Amino acid sequence: MLTTGDLVEVKPDAFAYFAGRLALVDHTAHIEEYYDDAGKLQTRLYYLVTLADNTASHVLPEDSLILVSKAQNINE
């Protein structure tokens, strides 16, 4: 699970404008629950991310993001 402030790289096969670029996670935008073919409940997370080099943002699924660096926990 990603958290606010995490630095991620968008996978090359993701949304074309964001593909291969660095972004910061803003927050969890959506949580989807579904049953797979075996009848097991699965969860898919979507995150709002903002590109590191400008202000463009987009909601992307977790499996389109590669964690580069975790944000420091400021609630110590």
pLDDT digits (tens, 9 = 90+) for 12-66: 999 899 999 999 999 999 999 999 999 999 999 999 999 999 999 999 999 999 9
DSSP conformational letter for 17: T
Distance CA 58, CA 51 (A): 9
Two tokens, residue 37: 């073919």
Distance CA 30, CA 2 (A): 13
Two tokens, residue 27: 């927050």
Question: Rounded to two decimals, what is the model's pTM?
Answer: 0.86
Beta bridge partners of 49: 25, 58
pLDDT exceeds 80 at position 75: no
